[in-house]
A and B are shown apart, each in its own frame.
Chain A
């Protein structure tokens, strides 16, 4: 693969080529081709077990692909994982903020792991707390936070080092409508203020339509369709809603692709949030 200069504006923020991951006999992600332009909010949709989290884990260097390759922020995820990590932020499907620490301590840990220190670290943390509306709760233990506050704290942690690309795995799962809208507002603001590229997974069609410039629907590890939300809707006829789009491309029933453990995992996340 020829080496391209990092942060070249003509380049894609995310470029996946025949990206594949197997678990035993199961092919969770199957030869996926994906291009996401800088500055875009890109949605990855699909039923439980479609392969969304597996895809994100590969792009964030957490999981090695079985075959294929990908570049994130101009760097190869296998050859230069360190360079990729410096350029990305990630909020996992699980609630990863540490409940036994305060919001401030969680942010301080992130800052230090990203090599920020001194007054720069302090001012970034203050910025992030203000941006996410958490300044008043910074000194409280995270286990006393509501689900929406935890999600906003995690976004704050993920944005501290000003990543070019943010990966968000179902960031609004289990949140009430108000908390959900707050997270959406913060995301749109992040893109507006820092020009961040965002790759977000969801099974919520309202969220997809509201946030995403483009989206891909995954089914059993393959992309079944890719396009702008409005295009996808009009492609199915005048009356079509986003839910119709999902039902049409995501492979019908959840029973087909989602295993028990997938659903149990989702429920657990939702419970912790609730």
Chain B
């Protein structure tokens, strides 16, 4: 256990050092949510075409856009993994006696910290647009946990794809094909009840839906989770654990 913590911390620390040294990616990742909230959110709020109860449309999509931004930045984590493979960094990690679980878990946690940075950016944008954000410490702590968990899920999923496809070109293709459908087949920018039945079924199977559901209750004043936090977190933790197991099995194949 102590060993797991130590090795995981070593991986996380390296990722954080690199992130702080070169934050360009974080900055460029802030542009997309800005467009979604400022342009898309404001225009659709004028139209009033989507019924979101007593919550304003902008408040409704803020958690959705937060989750989207986590999804997009985590899902392309696999590119970095493939890059590390091409450079031989993966080989160096894998010849060490460190537990494979530490290596994979370290990557997931590091993705979580990136997610936290995204969250801060989106909170700032939302506050500037007078979205009514919950700022009580408990809510913020719960949001941070959801974000860590969501980032971990999508980064680990991404690592699994990287282990399967192994080249950057193929990864880019699959990454594009996966992210947009995952985003649209979720409750990010419209509630599930207005979806056609088949899409609602897909959305109920999409882990992103549960992340957004939890965030909707935690980020917005007066927001509520449809499925309940217990269900949301249980599902997310379950998915994360299953993905971690698969990733630990597949990660060593990257060095072959």
- B84-116 CB mask vs A (1 if < 8 Å, else 0) is 001111011111111000000000000000000
Complex-state Cα separation, A214 to B96, whole angstroms: 27
Question: CB-nearest residue of chain A relative to B254?
Answer: A62
Closest CB of chain A to B112's CB: distance in Å? 19
CA distance A57 to B253 in the complex (A): 12
Return chain A residues, CB-CB under 8 Å to B93. Answer: 113
Q: Given A62, A108, A114, which contacts B255 in the complex, CB threshold below 8 Å?
A: A62
Residues A96 and B91 in contact, CB atoms below 8 Å apart: yes
Could you mark each residue 58-95 of chain A with 1 if its beta carbon is under 8 Å from any beta carbon of chain B, else 0?
A: 00111100000000000000000010011011101111
Given contacts A57-B256, A62-B256, contact A101 B95 (CB under 8 A): no
- CA–CA, A92 and B95, complex, Å: 10
* CB of A257 within 8 Å of the partner chain: no
Q: Is A110 an interface residue (CB 8 A)?
A: yes
**Which residues of B have CB within 8 Å of A60?**
95
The CA-CA distance from A90 to B11 in the complex, in Å, is 19
A255 at the interface (CB under 8 A from B): no
Task: Tell me if A117 counts as interface (CB < 8 A to partner B).
Answer: yes
Q: Report B-chain residues with C-beta under 8 Å of the C-beta of A101.
A: 14, 17-18
Number of chain B residues whose Cβ lies closer than 8 Å to a Cβ of chain A? 26
Q: Does B14 lie within 8 Å of A115, measured CB to CB?
A: no
Closest to B99 in A: A82
Contact of A63 among B10, B21, B87, B256 (CB under 8 A): B256
Contacts of B18 in A (CB 8 A): 98, 100-101
**Given A62-B255, A112-B7, A105 contacting B14 (CB threshold 8 A):** yes
Question: In the complex the two chains form, what is the Cα distance from A189 to B19 in whole Å?
Answer: 37
Contact A93 B88 (CB under 8 A): yes
B97 touching A114, Cβ below 8 Å:
yes
The proximity string for A residues 223-261 relative to B, scoring 1 for CB distances below 8 Å and 0 otherwise, is: 000000000000000000000000000000000000000
Contact residues of A between 153 and 186, Cβ < 8 Å to B: 157
With both beta carbons as reference points, the residue of chain A lying nearest to B18 in the complex is identified as: A100
| Set of chain B residues within 8 Å of A85, measured between Cβ atoms | 95-97
Would you call B3 an interface residue if the criterion is a C-beta within 8 Å of the partner chain's C-beta atoms? yes
- Size category of the A interface is 20 to 34
Which residue of chain A has its CB nearest to the CB of B102?
Answer: A113
Q: Does B51 contact A (CB under 8 A)?
A: no
Q: For residue A86, which residue of chain B has the nearest CB?
A: B97
Residue A109 at the B interface, CB < 8 A? yes
Q: Is A109 within 8 A of B97, CB to CB? A: no
* Inter-chain contact A94/B97, CB cutoff 8 Å: no
- Partner among A57, A100, A113 whose Cβ is within 8 Å of the Cβ of B10: A113
Contact present for B7 and A94 (CB under 8 Å): no
Q: CA separation between A60 and B108, bound complex, in Å?
A: 26
* Cross-chain contact of B14 among A62, A94, A98 (Cβ < 8 A): A98
| Cβ-defined contact, B17 with A114, below 8 A | no
Return B82 CB to nearest CB of chain A, in Å: 13
Chain A 103-161 interface residues, beta-carbon cutoff 8 Å to B: 105, 108-110, 112-115, 117, 157
Nearest Cβ on chain B to A115's Cβ, whole angstroms: 7
Complex contact A92–B88 (CB within 8 A): yes
What is the CA–CA distance of A108 and B14 in the complex, to the nearest angstrom? 10
Q: A96-B88, A98-B89 are in contact. Are A90 and B95 (CB under 8 A)?
A: yes
Query: In the complex, which residues of chain B have a beta carbon less than 8 angstroms from the beta carbon of A117?
Result: 6
Cβ contact within 8 Å between B86 and A94: yes
Interface pairs (6), CB distance under 8 Å: A62-B95, A85-B97, A90-B92, A101-B14, A105-B17, A109-B11
B binding-site residues for A, Cβ under 8 Å:
3, 6-7, 9-11, 14, 17-18, 21-22, 86-89, 91-98, 252, 255-256
